[in-house]
Amino acid sequence: MTKLTLSAMPDEKGYFGEFGGQIIPPELKAIMDDINDAYEEIRATDAFQNELMDLYQHYVGRPSPIFKTTKISDGGAQIFLKREDLNHTGAHKINHCLGEALLAKHMGKTKVLAETGAGQHGVALATACALIGIECEIHMGEIDIEKEHPNVTKMKILGCKLVPVSRGTRTLKDAVDSAFEEYLKDPVNFFYAIGSVVGPHPFPKMVRDFQSIVGKEAREQFLCSEGKLPDLVTACVGGGSNAIGLFTAFLEDEDVELVGVEPAGKGLNTPDNAATLTLGVKGGLHGMQCYNLQDDNGEPLPVYSIASGLDYPGVGPQHCYLKDLGRVKYVTADDQECLDAFMTLSQKEGVIPALESAHAVAYAMKIAKDMSPDQTILINLSGRGDKDADFVAEKLGL
């Protein structure tokens, strides 16, 4: 395998190989370049890093621990959880939301805009904006509002403006479109805090950098507790922020297998899935070149996942690059496997995972059976299942 130099990616135009970039109008490119310049200017300053690290420790509760499970591997490989679900607001999203809110304030922006699917990004951003002291507006599909009612309530309590999106599939992709249209009304004064490693440059790079704290911690913690690196590292992939945050620290460790788990939904042979890297084609979406699911006219398909945070027709450009390099393997888990993993982890380990994270748990439980007891799997448990508990209980008749 060619020696990876991913720490230097993307290039100056925002490309990871042939993926990424800025597929945007010239006037918006100037705004994106301003954001990149501001980010590059402050990212390495002691003042910014010290403030961010202080918030991670004293506000978020970092470092999040690694937990060794004892009952879900069925005699196979040992399974460990990186407990991002224990963060303030209940997921990994707070990591980049704090960074984006601090950057927006530094740039003198008056309002932060974003989309959300499962609501975790929305809650985290509303939390960060309340703390930093800047106006926040979140766009969310009506179907996701119904599914994720607890997070909707939290966002309102935190003081953000919640905008229901009724167009199209009324889910994440449409929320992205709606939020971006609002952003274009005044990109000089508004800041669009993208919720994953997607969109035009510099967001895939910037969100990755903020999320890389997950992998840095996990690598150090695993070496400290086990005296070696994990054999396999896995995470769910929608847009891909939690996965890239974990994978980044292990990219140069060629003996560590990296696996991203996409939603197969109701089946790869049905239209009801969001398995972008498994079934997608190369093309433009939301300001970037990436693998995406599209129809014969090149329009994004109305994708589906039982996990609201994964039903996106594209994926981060760095994931696309890693797929083509062969450094990361991308697999799928369907709705039933997800639900089974959700209930198994809850009832055997006392940890209720987010439906998004349960996709990675499902894969780990399946692959562990074919591995030896002295081998190890590390899962990024990217969020907790409070938001999904009522939905799952209704679906399973509990």
Residue 233 domain-assigned? yes
Count of structural domains, the chain = 2
pLDDT of residue 27: 85
Cis peptide before 10 (omega within 30 of 0): yes
State residue 119's pLDDT score: 87
- Identity (one letter) of the amino acid at 8? A
Model pTM? 0.94
Domain hosting residue 315, numbered range: 62-90+213-396
Last residue of a domain, one of 185, 203, 221: 203
Q: Which of 241, 262, 382, 387 is catalytic?
A: 382
pLDDT at res. 169 = 86
Task: Average the pLDDT over 212-233 and give the result.
Answer: 98
Confidence of residue 5 (pLDDT cuts 50, 70, 90): low
At residue 389's C-alpha, the angle toward residues 386 and 390, to 5°, is 125
Does residue 34 sit in the same domain as residue 183?
Answer: yes
Domain-terminating residue out of 203, 235, 266: 203
CA distance linking residue 240 with residue 236, whole number of Å: 7
7 inside domain? no
* Integer Cα distance of 166 and 59 in angstroms: 35
Q: Is residue 36 located within the same domain as residue 169?
A: yes
Indicate which CATH number applies to the domain containing 152: 3.40.50.1100
**Does residue 1 surpass a pLDDT of 50?**
no
Q: Catalytic: which of 82, 93, 205, 323?
A: 93
Q: How confident is the model at residue 4 (pLDDT cuts 50, 70, 90)?
A: very low
Active-site hit among 84, 100, 115, 137: 115
Does the pLDDT at position 2 exceed 70? no
The answer as to whether 8 is a domain residue is no
For residue 242, is pLDDT > 90?
A: yes
Dist CA 376 CA 228 (whole Å): 10
Q: Does 382 qualify as catalytic in the annotation? A: yes
Q: Known catalytic residue: 115?
A: yes
Are residues 67 and 46 part of one domain? Answer: no
Instruction: Give CA–CA dist 277/313, Å, rounded.
Output: 10
Residues 147, 277, single domain; the answer is no
Domain limit, last residue, from 157, 184, 203: 203
Residues 398, 391: contact at Cβ < 8 Å? Answer: no
The model's pLDDT over 361-390, given as tens digits with 9 standing for 90+, comes to 999 999 999 999 999 999 999 999 999 999
* Positive or negative: CA dihedral 76, 229, 221, 64: negative
Q: Tokens 């060794």 belong to which residue?
A: 68
Residue 2 included in any domain: no
Q: Does 216 participate in catalysis according to the annotation?
A: no
In this predicted structure, what is the pLDDT of residue 288?
A: 97
| 267-277 pLDDT per residue, tens | 999 999 999 99
The answer on 248 and 116 residing in a single domain is no
Which amino acid does the sequence have at 184?
L
Indicate whether 266 and 307 sit together in one domain: yes
pLDDT computed for residue 77 by the predictor: 98
pLDDT digits (tens, 9 = 90+) for 107-136: 999 999 999 987 889 999 999 999 999 999
Structural domain contains residue 27: yes
